[in-house]
């Protein structure tokens, strides 16, 4: 019965390629091992405390953090975290007339169920949700200690289930592994199993710290919790990374770990911890200005590369991601707040603001963003909606802060000012 199911094993070649790359990196690292500087071993699960342990002493930070996209970016698969609908009529995606997939609640959990010619062929459990849902959510299923991406993703812009990003149209892909790198950007810690420390393919599903949690940015903190609990009168912090006191590059690197696009590891997965330099753990060759100027950097996932190429960054000595973003708050959509950050460096009383585009100063001070950091379609996150042959792209805010004449013409502010 099962054999009848048409499953297309599209990823074989990619896997082989990854293997070859992994082996060459392994050899390279062995050659360099004499000169290795960073702590190449990943911390262990017991080095972490988990954010619920921080609550009692850092209540305000904790309360804000649990509403952030970082905290919510990976969760065990419960219906309350999943934005797509399991209601009849809204819980399906048709690949073709013959192949259809259903999202179903069952006694043992939530499932993606493949039907071929109206007959159930395979049911795959939702085990982990990836994505807070700002743009979309992908899902992970566990098979033993291996993790796979489920074929169907939720696409927020259309409020619909869709084929997962990058998957071929009309085909059910069920064997795309979730890589260690994928987890490194969406969870704080996952414990790999086996000898391949750089790219483990198996994980201990009990020992995962979901989401981008406190300890991703402040370092593993079990010792800090123990010490401060046992020494309640000591008001100085011990065994914790004070992120604000790091150098500019260390601060940038902490964000670039996940917002620096495709960079290749040279040390064990999860061995980078807050305060390290990225260049001690990664081969960094994709973050050059040339790539940005040629449009080779995708707006998705490479805010660091784009920001670094902008004049604002190059001509100021202080700008980091935290100049505009508060690390613990959910500030999505608050254009006025972000525009205040621009104004902190660009006085609107400056003679430059006499230019035609800036004529309506009152209005522009509420929104510098749509003209200078327009939302642009990602080339990396595109999905096929049911029955559509052209993939839809997610829009991501460009961090190449610059002058965009075309975008300017489209904004409401401009129309009000010019006509």
Whole-number Å distance between alpha carbons of 393 and 300: 11
Q: Please identify which residue in 42, 84, 95, 138 interacts with ligand HEC, judged by CB under 6 A.
A: 138
* Site for ligand HEC contains 62 (CB under 6 A): yes
Interface stretch with ligand HEC, choices 13-21, 167-175, 287-295, 314-322 (CB under 6 A): 314-322
In the shown chain, the binding pattern of residues 89 to 108 toward ligand HEC, with x for contact by CB under 6 A and - for none, equals --------------------
16/311 with CB nearer ligand HEC: 311
Nearest to 325 by CA among 238, 208, 212, 181: 212
Interface stretch with ligand HEC, choices 24-32, 111-119, 201-209, 238-246 (CB under 6 A): 238-246
The tokens describing 280, both together, are: 């001690």
Nearest to 133 by CA among 276, 330, 318: 330
Interface stretch with ligand HEC, choices 3-11, 37-45, 103-111, 316-324 (CB under 6 A): 316-324
Q: Please identify which residue in 300, 309, 382, 393 interacts with ligand HEC, judged by CB under 6 A.
A: 300
Q: Which residues contact 55 (CB under 8 A, 6 or more apart)?
A: 62
User: How many CB atoms within 10 Å of residue 204?
Assistant: 13
* Site for ligand HEC contains 40 (CB under 6 A): no
Nearest to 381 by CA among 372, 367, 370, 392: 392
* Site for ligand HEC contains 345 (CB under 6 A): yes
102/131 with CB nearer ligand HEC: 131
Q: Please identify which residue in 106, 352, 410, 416 interacts with ligand HEC, judged by CB under 6 A.
A: 352
Subset of 390-409 contacting ligand HEC (CB under 6 A): 396-397, 399, 401-403, 405, 408
CA-to-CA separations, 149 to 128, 170, 226, 407, in angstroms, rounded: 9, 17, 37, 36
Q: Please identify which residue in 152, 312, 385, 393 interacts with ligand HEC, judged by CB under 6 A.
A: 312
Nearest to 393 by CA among 296, 299, 307, 295: 299
Q: How far is the CB of 399 from ligand HEC (least distance, A)?
A: 6
In the shown chain, the binding pattern of residues 156 to 195 toward ligand HEC, with x for contact by CB under 6 A and - for none, equals ----------------------x--xx--xx---------
* Site for ligand HEC contains 311 (CB under 6 A): yes
Subset of 241-260 contacting ligand HEC (CB under 6 A): 242-244, 254-255, 257-259
From the number of C-beta atoms within 10 Å of its C-beta (0-12, 13-18, 19+), residue 16 rates as: exposed
Q: How far is the CB of 97 from ligand HEC (least distance, A)?
A: 28
């Amino acid at each position: 019965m099962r054999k009848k199911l048409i499953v297309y094993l599209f990823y074989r070649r990619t896997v082989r390629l990854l293997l070859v790359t992994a082996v060459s990196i392994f050899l390279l690292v062995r050659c360099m091992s004499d000169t290795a500087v960073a702590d190449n071993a990943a911390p262990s699960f017991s080095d972490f405390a988990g954010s619920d342990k921080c609550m009692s002493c850092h209540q305000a930070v904790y309360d804000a953090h649990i509403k952030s996209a970082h905290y919510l970016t990976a969760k065990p698969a419960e219906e309350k975290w999943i934005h797509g609908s399991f209601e009849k009529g809204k819980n399906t995606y048709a690949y073709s007339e013959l192949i259809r997939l259903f999202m179903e609640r069952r006694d043992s959990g939530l499932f993606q169920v493949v039907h071929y010619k109206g007959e159930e062929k395979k049911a795959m459990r939702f085990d982990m949700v990836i994505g807070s849902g700002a743009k979309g959510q992908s899902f992970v299923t566990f098979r033993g200690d291996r993790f796979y991406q489920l074929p169907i993703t939720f696409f927020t812009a259309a409020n619909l289930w869709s084929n997962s990003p990058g998957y071929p149209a009309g085909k059910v892909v069920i064997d795309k592994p979730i890589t260690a790198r994928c987890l490194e950007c969406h969870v704080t810690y996952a414990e790999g199993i086996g000898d391949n420390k750089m790219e483990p393919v198996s994980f201990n599903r009990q020992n995962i710290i979901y989401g981008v949690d406190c300890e991703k940015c402040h370092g593993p903190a079990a010792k800090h919790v123990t010490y401060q609990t046992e020494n309640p009168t000591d008001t100085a912090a011990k065994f914790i990374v004070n992120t604000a006191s790091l150098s500019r590059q260390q601060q940038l690197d902490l964000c670039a770990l996940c917002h620096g696009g495709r960079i290749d590891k040279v040390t064990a997965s999860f061995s980078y911890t807050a305060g390290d330099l990225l260049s001690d753990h990664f081969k960094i060759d994709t973050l050059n200005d040339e790539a940005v100027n040629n449009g080779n950097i995708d707006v998705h996932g490479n805010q660091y590369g784009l920001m670094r190429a902008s004049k604002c960054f190059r001509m100021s000595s202080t700008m980091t991601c935290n100049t505009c973003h508060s690390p613990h708050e959910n500030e999505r959509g608050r254009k006025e707040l972000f525009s205040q950050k621009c104004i902190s460096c660009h006085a609107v009383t400056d003679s430059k603001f006499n230019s035609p585009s800036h004529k309506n100063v009152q209005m522009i001070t509420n929104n510098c963003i749509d003209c200078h950091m327009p939302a642009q379609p990602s080339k990396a996150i595109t999905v096929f909606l049911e029955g559509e042959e052209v993939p839809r792209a997610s829009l991501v805010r460009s961090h190449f802060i610059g002058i965009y004449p075309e975008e300017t013409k489209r904004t409401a502010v401009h129309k009000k000012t010019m006509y």
